[in-house]
Amino acid sequence: MYWDTPLLKANNRTLSFILLVSILLSFLCIFFFLGRPVDITCLLRQVSFGIFFTIGVSCILAKTITVCIAFKATKPGSSWKKFVSFKVSNNVVFICSSVQVLICVIWLSVSPPYVEYNHHKYPGKIIIQCNEGSDIWLYSMLGYMGLLAAVSFVLAFMVRTLPDSFNEAKYITFSMLLFCSVWISMIPAYLSTRGKYMVAVEVFAILTSSAGILSCIFFPKLYILLVKPELSTKRHLLWRFGNA
């Protein structure tokens, strides 16, 4: 409904749409973690979560890079003007996401996850769980996603003081700070639990970090579009930019 508003155009509406879809898919991928583990859910749950989250974080990184380039290009004679295009942001999303896809493909090819019947954890009971196949590839996937989030956080923190009307960096900073905090705190809890409690910890981390990104980046836009539509005008945006 608000696709053509100046606010969305200023914040790269294509990346915003891709980010929303990736967050939706991140919420949906938790269904792979629920219920009795079978071969297909064990194969798909970590991979789907890693790819969807990486696409979302790549969009955030591309948004941050776009903000950096846009304001460097405003300086007279700046060589950054040739980088002000949608191709740069699209290439960032494609390249960063492709690396994660490659990691997941190698993981599934070399040592895919499988259903494991644990007879030793609790005497007299059999625990049906997913064995991730290779912890190295699992942590490579998580580490790469964390690296993208850390880079996004640092860049957004550096440009957070630029004009608010054009700049999402302040909201990106909060969203990446929340994202990193959730996953850093999740690691010791994840490593110290087993069975259904390990799955519950990861599902909670996925839901919390997805909701954090959604609320930090999109709720301010919704507030302006629905409550303060006068702030989403070209005149207001140019006025804020001219007074920066």
The CA distance from 207 to 185, in Å, is 14
Domain that holds residue 96: 6-242
Alpha carbon 96 to its chain's center = 11
Nearest to 244 by CA among 7, 84, 70: 70
Domain presence at residue 1: no
Nearest to 9 by CA among 197, 158, 165: 165
Q: pLDDT tens digit string along 69-78?
A: 766 655 556 5
Nearest to 131 by CA among 52, 37, 50: 37
Domain presence at residue 66: yes
Q: How many domains are there within the chain?
A: 1
The CA distance from 186 to 184, in Å, is 5
Domain presence at residue 109: yes
CATH number for 219: 1.20.1070
Alpha helices in 12-114 (DSSP H): 13-28, 39-72, 86-110
Domain presence at residue 178: yes
String of DSSP letters for 99-145: HHHHHHHHHHHHS--EEEEESSSSTT--EEEEE-S-HHHHHHHHHHH
Contact (CB, 8 A) for 100 and 144 = yes
Question: What pLDDT sits at residue 239?
Answer: 44
Residue 201, C-beta contacts closer than 8 angstroms, at least 6 positions apart: 186, 189, 190, 193
Domain presence at residue 216: yes
Domain presence at residue 225: yes
User: Full-prediction pTM beyond 0.85?
Assistant: no
- DSSP, res 5: S
The CA distance from 233 to 239, in Å, is 10
Domain presence at residue 217: yes
Tens-of-pLDDT digits for all 244 residues of the chain? 777 777 776 677 788 889 899 999 999 988 888 888 888 888 888 899 889 999 989 988 888 887 777 666 555 565 555 555 667 778 888 999 999 999 999 999 988 888 888 777 667 777 777 888 888 888 898 889 888 888 888 887 877 666 555 567 778 888 888 888 888 887 777 777 766 777 888 888 889 888 888 888 888 788 777 777 666 565 555 544 444 4
The CA distance from 58 to 46, in Å, is 18
